[in-house]
Structure 1
Amino acid sequence: MSGFQTQAAYNPAPAVEGDFASTNPRTTVLAAAGALVCGALGAAIGRFAWLSYNQLDSDSAPAVVNTFGSGPVAGFIHREQQGLMEVYLQESTMLVPAGFPVTVFNEGDFWVKNSGPTPAQYDMKVYANYADGTASAAPTGTPNGATTSAGSIAAATNAFTGAIVGNVLTVSAVGAGTIYPGTTISGVNVAAGTKIVSQLSGTPGGIGTYSVSIPGQNVAAGTAIAGTYGVLSVGGVVTGVFGVGDTVTGAGIAATTMITQQLTGPAGGAGTYAVDVNTVVNAAALTSATNVETKWRVRSFAQPGELMKITSWPQG
């Protein structure tokens, strides 16, 4: 096997990604008994994490942790030897398996790998990649992203029959359109502003179950439900890669517009994407952010691929 040690260094590595970088105070994400647990793909140690409404804890708060997501991060996954090897002859792992309990830190000092293409310098802001939770460093207000010279957003709708218990929507029939994550839904007894978070089971975009953003609901079976979302068209000159979780900005676009699913075209390239706002935007230059700025700051220089110290405390 190729993973066994074949050489020794005079000076040991300062740490392993995910380790604490100091004994300064640290805090964890508040969760009820039995939460938080890793999502279906597990959670990677030494990465930033997001919370999901696929399950709720006893406080009706999101109970699932993923090291991918969208919007602001919930926190960071510290290394405490919680990875578990599940693959035959596997030599090492940094993955906590699906369903296992995991602690998410929202304050503290940690060692993390600089996964960006440029060196991390002291006091730069730390950015979390939406796709895998990896960290990079850059000046404040400079997320990575992609651009299109001829992007537009069209309003789209769907209609279906279903029921909601807690935070789970059960769709029994689809009358029109396709159901995508990010769809804002309305109907009798549906809480205002409720959005579909993800599909849990069933036919993709059709009959099945879905998690919704507002828990504690009780919508009777057979309720007629209407949904609205947007379809982003990416065309013209495209630079970079568009992806799920990206925040789209440009003239006429709401600040919170987010890509929830790619609909057509090559992965990340020219094509169409579902977004969670149905604002109509005519052809224009649009930009998407592929990572999000966190509150953490860099506290040591690091070349790409090297470990860097990060802190959530303003003075480090």
Structure 2
Amino acid sequence: MPFPNTVNYNWPVSFPGAWASENPRRSVLAWANGLRAGTGGVSVAAFAWVQADGASVLNTPPSDAATAATASASVAAGGVSAIAVTSGGSGYGAVPTVTLSGGGGTGAQATATIGNGVVTGITVTAPGTGYTTAPTITLSAPVATPAAPDGFVVREQQGLMTQYLQEATMTIPQGFMVTLADGGDVFCACASDAARGDVVCASVTDGGITAVAPGTDAPDGYVATGWRVALPAATGGLIAITKDAS
């Protein structure tokens, strides 16, 4: 009898990261060299983001380059007469707060306007009194809202055993190919109770999954994904999530 040289392998049923049906599937398009796990690897059965280089994938959003705007004030007749924007900053999704301090006076107030994520102007709404020098202008920093993840990391047997007698891994090592699902039905674990039709949210720290009722904001540290719960389960249970792939 010859020594066995083949291995028969069948996918486990209903396992995190596996496709849950034969319904139409869609994956994130990639360049010729494909999408690859970034520094530290990528967890399977979690959501992930394509990084700024367009090729590496991580379970966290790309680092945000948002910066606070700066401005300087002018004083006339003891009041703040104008405020000029010296740098519009970047990444503003909401109007920042303008704070005036110092200058020897009190009561000056101003409001900012934004456009395309930058501060475009500041209007003095109250000049105040008693200013002998220009006060310091401070604008609140932009609060970044992470974008929805680019896709869900599905199992494609990309794992690499790194320990003797290790049987399984749910981490794709750095540099290995990654498949991101952007539509279809997949299995995953959920950190909360999940009802059919709930909105699926992804953690911005590890791509982990929780679910909230439709019309409910994503919890702190999570962002809505565009996926919905198809098969429900209690906290920690295995659920199926779905996104239209047509």
Amino acid at match of 2:177: P
Partner in structure 2 of residue 296 of structure 1: 227
Q: Which runs of 5+ in 1 are unaligned?
A: 1-12, 56-61, 146-289
Amino acid at match of 2:228: R
Amino acid at match of 1:132: D
Do structure 1's residue 112 and structure 2's residue 188 form an aligned pair? yes
Residue deviations 1:148-207 (CA, integer Å, cap 9, x gap)? xxxxxxxxxxxxxxxxxxxxxxxxxxxxxxxxxxxxxxxxxxxxxxxxxxxxxxxxxxxx
Structure with more of its chain in strand, by fraction:
1
Do structure 1's residue 52 and structure 2's residue 48 form an aligned pair? no
**3-state SS of the aligned residue for 1:40?**
coil
How far is 1:314 from its partner? 9.0
Query: Matches of 1:16 and 1:107 in 2, distance apart?
Result: 18
How far is 1:41 from its partner? 1.2
Query: Matches of 1:310 and 1:299 in 2, distance apart?
Result: 5
Partner in structure 2 of residue 126 of structure 1: 200
Equivalence map 1:94-105=2 (5 Å): 94-105=170-181
Amino acid at match of 2:217: T
How far is 1:92 from its partner? 2.1
Partner in structure 2 of residue 191 of structure 1: none
Instruction: Judge conservation of contact 1:38–1:100 (CA < 8 Å) in 2.
Output: yes
TM-score, normalised with respect to structure 2: 0.57
Amino acid at match of 1:138: V
How far is 1:35 from its partner? 2.2
Number of aligned residues: 150
Q: 2:151 aligns with which of 66, 72, 75?
A: 75
Amino acid at match of 1:51: V
Instruction: Judge conservation of contact 1:22–1:109 (CA < 8 Å) in 2.
Output: yes
Do structure 1's residue 143 and structure 2's residue 241 form an aligned pair? no
Q: Which runs of 5+ in 2 are unaligned?
A: 1-11, 62-145
Do structure 1's residue 64 and structure 2's residue 140 form an aligned pair? no
Amino acid at match of 1:68: T
CA spacing shift, 1:84–1:314, aligned 2, 3 Å? closer
Partner in structure 2 of residue 182 of structure 1: none
How far is 1:73 from its partner? 0.6
Instruction: Judge conservation of contact 1:45–1:83 (CA < 8 Å) in 2.
Output: no
How far is 1:103 from its partner? 1.3
Query: Matches of 1:129 and 1:306 in 2, distance apart?
Result: 17
Partner in structure 2 of residue 33 of structure 1: 32
Q: Which has the larger radius of gyration?
A: 2
How far is 1:67 from its partner? 1.4
Query: Matches of 2:233 and 2:227 in 1, distance apart?
Result: 15
Partner in structure 1 of residue 236 of structure 2: 305
Instruction: Judge conservation of contact 1:121–1:302 (CA < 8 Å) in 2.
Output: yes
Amino acid at match of 2:201: Y
Query: Matches of 1:305 and 1:91 in 2, distance apart?
Result: 23
Instruction: Judge conservation of contact 2:188–2:241 (CA < 8 Å) in 1.
Output: yes
Equivalence map 1:193-272=2 (5 Å): none
How far is 1:115 from its partner? 2.0
**3-state SS of the aligned residue for 2:210?**
strand
How far is 1:299 from its partner? 1.1
Fraction of identical pairs, as percent: 37
Calculate the aligned-residue CA RMSD, in Å: 1.9
How far is 1:88 from its partner? 4.0
**3-state SS of the aligned residue for 2:39?**
coil
How far is 1:43 from its partner? 0.9
Equivalence map 1:17-32=2 (5 Å): 17-32=16-31
TM-score, normalised with respect to structure 1: 0.45
Query: Matches of 2:161 and 2:19 in 1, distance apart?
Result: 23
Query: Matches of 1:121 and 1:299 in 2, distance apart?
Result: 8
